[in-house]
């Protein structure tokens, strides 16, 4: 059978040109709401990846490394304007590709524009510095310079938001990039390349290669890349780190999480209820920062559990393109099966299911990859449910007695990406924030982002930072220059100090 005429077939974007994959063919991208294919994505082979890296390197050497910061900034600001104009269309495309509700993807498109503008402001302000030395006849200075070619590998849950964490800083710093999106959600990255073209970036600054894990492996192991920035699972992150290590390529890894969202007895219960819901059920729980472990002090445990359970049961599931929908589908079938396996395991371990725990099997939603908002109560922190990242709308509610116990439970996980604290005590805010071993702590809010703030994890949640000034520094390297302007002859067999 021939492919349906309604499918859009995309090409690779290499060196400013749209090109067919080198003999590797195409694969379908499925709409998780309808379970039907809606686009065809090229499977890039090693030769395609090599061509993309070569194009980026050539443009870096000839053009982009010689482009002034103010000119880079102008292009980035133009791209931000275009991104805002195209935001509604891009949001619908992403929601079609991964099932996330359009009310969230719409804000994520605007966030990408915001981060582009933030880093555009940095592009002409990458200062060096002069170091005073012990000798008055030696002048020393250091400059901050771009690394060269950056490989960016993003996950399927939020392709454009993850791009926002990486691309603007890399471009502002003066690097060229090769982006490899997830094979489960590639469309918006390819569409974004059209916006880069429209903004007038030099050909080769931005390149896109799509495909499965073999494409990502080729990008990491094929040579020519100066740094890899990856967001995804810890399993894949370990492989990338090992392969990059063989090439001595530095990496930024933003991996998984099992984030504790801690509610103390003095918290504003209404705000804490909303924060708990936002932490796990927004984005269908498919986010690395999901507050998937809700730690609740026993004195307010029953009341908060009752409120969250009642509200979770009323969450509106539906068409991700409908602005009234509150929770969309799981993004792809493998992830759906993984979530259902975790739910089954939790039941066997003895966690108490209070709502959800099954696929939506009735009405118009039956054919979509919908999992009902799921809450397990009386969970022990040593259960599989509490220790493994599920990446779905499944909440573990864990009781605690004292502040010290809450901190102990919160830190008792191999992950360390994000955490939340709900309290009205200023002293407790500071004590607990300091004690939590996570890269991000939210207090009386959850799942909030800003272009100016650094983001990243510790422990098995990865290393390196994105966004903020720290995000810019990840894509720069320091060069030191020492100039001796004395007329004295030196001893060739002694170090000059």
Task: List, for residues 302-318, the tens digit of each pLDDT value.
Answer: 999 999 999 999 999 99
Confidence at 2, pLDDT banded by 50, 70, 90: very low
HSE (side-chain half, CA atoms, 13 Å) at 419: 27
Q: pLDDT tens, 405-444?
A: 999 999 999 999 999 999 999 999 999 999 999 999 999 9
Name every residue whose Cβ is closer than 8 Å to that of residue 150 and which is 6 or more positions away in sequence: 166, 170, 175, 176, 177, 178, 225, 226, 227, 228, 229, 475
Give me the residue label for tokens 């966690």. Answer: 351
Residues of the chain with CATH 3.40.309.10: 260-443
Q: Measured between alpha carbons, how far is 379 from 385 in angstroms, rounded to an integer?
A: 8
User: Of all residues in the chain, what percent carry a pLDDT higher than 90?
Assistant: 96
Q: What contacts 24+ positions apart, CB below 8 Å, involve 34-39? A: 34/367, 34/368, 35/367, 35/368, 35/369, 37/4, 37/7, 38/6, 38/7, 38/8, 38/96, 38/97, 39/7, 39/8, 39/9, 39/10, 39/97, 39/187
Annotated catalytic sites, by residue?
254, 288
Pseudo-torsion of CA 13, 18, 22, 26, nearest 10°? 80
What is the distance between the alpha carbons of residues 304 and 299, in angstroms, rounded to a whole number?
10
Rounded Cα distance, 391 and 99, in Å: 14
Q: Which residue has the tokens 């090109």?
A: 19
Average pLDDT over residues 197-210: 98
What's the pLDDT score for residue 490?
Answer: 85
What integer pLDDT is reported at residue 351 of this predicted model?
A: 95
Architecture field, domain 8-255+457-480: 3-Layer(aba) Sandwich (3.40)
- The pLDDT confidence band at residue 3, using thresholds 50, 70 and 90, is very low
Provide the pLDDT for residue 4: 45
Question: Three-state DSSP class for 476?
Answer: strand
What would the mean pLDDT of 245-261 be, rounded to a whole number?
97
The pTM of this model reads 0.96
Q: Burial, 462: exposed, middle or buried (Cβ in 10 Å; 0-12, 13-18, 19+)?
A: buried
Q: Is the pLDDT of residue 29 over 70?
A: yes
pLDDT for 497 equals 84
- Give the right CATH number for 260-443 from 3.40.309.10, 3.40.50.300, 3.30.210.10, 1.10.3210.10: 3.40.309.10
| Predicted local distance difference test score (pLDDT) of residue 1 | 29
Tokens read off for 79: 């791209």
d(CA 444, CA 442) in angstroms, rounded, equals 7
- pLDDT at position 35 over 70: yes
Q: Output the CA torsion 304→308→311→316 (10° steps).
A: 160
Q: How many residues does the chain have?
A: 497
Rounded Cα distance between 91 and 111, Å, is 12
Asked whether residue 181 carries a pLDDT value surpassing 60, the answer given is: yes
| 355 neighbors 372 (Cβ within 8 angstroms) | yes
Quote the mean pLDDT of the chain: 96
Cα gap 31→184, rounded to integer Å: 10
Which residue spans of the chain are classified as CATH 3.40.605.10? 8-255+457-480
396: nearest Cα among 254, 195, 260: 260
Per residue in 379-398, pLDDT (tens digit) is 999 999 999 999 999 999 99
User: Which of helix, strand or coil describes residue 451?
Assistant: coil
Percent of the chain with pLDDT over 70: 99
Beta strands 26-31 and 36-42, pairing class: antiparallel
d(CA 358, CA 365): 13
- Paired with 129 in beta bridges are 142
The counts of H helices and E strands in the chain are 14, 21
pLDDT (average), residues 72-95: 98
Query: What number is the average pLDDT over the span 457-472?
Result: 97
Smallest CA-to-CA distance from 15 within 166, 202, 185 is with: 202
Give residue 414's pLDDT. 97
DSSP 359: B
Helix, strand or coil, per DSSP, at residue 254: strand
Confidence of residue 6 (pLDDT cuts 50, 70, 90): confident
pLDDT-derived band at 34, boundaries 50, 70, 90: very high
Give residue 24's pLDDT: 79
pLDDT at residue 159, rounded to an integer: 98
Closest CA to 262 of 364, 399, 162: 399
């Amino acid at each position: 059978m021939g492919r349906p005429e309604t499918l859009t077939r995309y090409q690779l974007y290499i060196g400013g040109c749209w090109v067919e994959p080198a003999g590797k063919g195409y694969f379908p991208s499925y709409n998780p709401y309808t379970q039907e294919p809606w686009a065809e994505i090229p499977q890039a082979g090693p030769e395609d990846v090599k061509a993309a890296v070569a194009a980026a390197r050539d443009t870096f050497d000839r053009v982009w490394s010689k482009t002034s910061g103010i000119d880079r900034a102008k292009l980035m600001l133009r791209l931000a304007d275009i991104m805002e104009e195209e935001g509604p269309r891009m949001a619908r495309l992403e929601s079609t590709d991964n099932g996330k509700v359009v009310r969230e993807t719409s804000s994520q498109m605007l966030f990408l524009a915001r981060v582009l503008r933030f880093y555009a402001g940095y592009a002409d302000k990458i200062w060096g510095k002069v170091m005073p030395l012990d000798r008055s006849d030696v002048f020393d200075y250091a400059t901050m310079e771009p690394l060269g070619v950056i490989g960016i590998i993003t996950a399927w849950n939020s392709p454009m938001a993850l791009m926002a964490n990486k691309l603007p800083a890399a471009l502002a710093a003066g690097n060229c990039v090769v982006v490899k999106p997830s094979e489960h959600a590639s469309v918006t990255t390819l569409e974004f390349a059209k916006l880069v073209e429209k903004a007038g970036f030099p050909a080769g600054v931005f390149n896109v290669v799509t495909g499965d894990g073999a494409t990502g492996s080729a990008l990491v192991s094929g040579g020519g890349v100066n740094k890899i920035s990856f967001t995804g699972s810890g399993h894949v992150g370990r492989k990338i780190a090992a392969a990059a290590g063989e090439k001595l390529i530095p990496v930024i890894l933003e991996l998984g999480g099992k984030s504790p969202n801690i509610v103390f007895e003095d918290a504003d219960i209404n705000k804490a209820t909303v924060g708990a819901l936002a932490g796990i059920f927004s984005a269908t729980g498919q986010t690395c920062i999901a507050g998937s472990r809700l730690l609740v002090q026993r004195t307010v445990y029953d009341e908060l559990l009752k409120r969250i359970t009642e509200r979770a049961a009323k969450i509106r599931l539906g068409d991700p393109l409908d602005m009234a929908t509150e929770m969309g589908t799981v993004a792809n079938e493998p992830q759906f099966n993984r979530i259902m396996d975790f739910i089954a395991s939790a039941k066997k371990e003895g966690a108490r299911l209070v709502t959800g725990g099954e696929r939506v099997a009735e009405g118009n939603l039956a054919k979509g990859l919908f999992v009902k908002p799921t809450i397990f109560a009386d969970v022990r922190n040593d259960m599989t449910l509490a220790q493994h990242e599920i990446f779905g709308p499944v909440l573990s509610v864990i009781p605690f007695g004292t502040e010290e116990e809450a901190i102990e439970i919160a830190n008792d996980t191999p992950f360390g990406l994000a955490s939340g604290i709900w309290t009205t005590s200023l002293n407790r805010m500071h004590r607990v924030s300091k004690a939590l071993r996570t890269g991000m702590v939210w207090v009386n809010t959850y799942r909030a982002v800003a272009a100016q703030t650094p983001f990243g994890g510790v422990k098995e949640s990865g290393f390196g930072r994105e966004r903020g000034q720290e995000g810019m520094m990840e894509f720069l390297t320091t060069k030191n220059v020492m100039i001796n302007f004395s007329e004295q002859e030196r001893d060739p067999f002694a170090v000059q100090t």
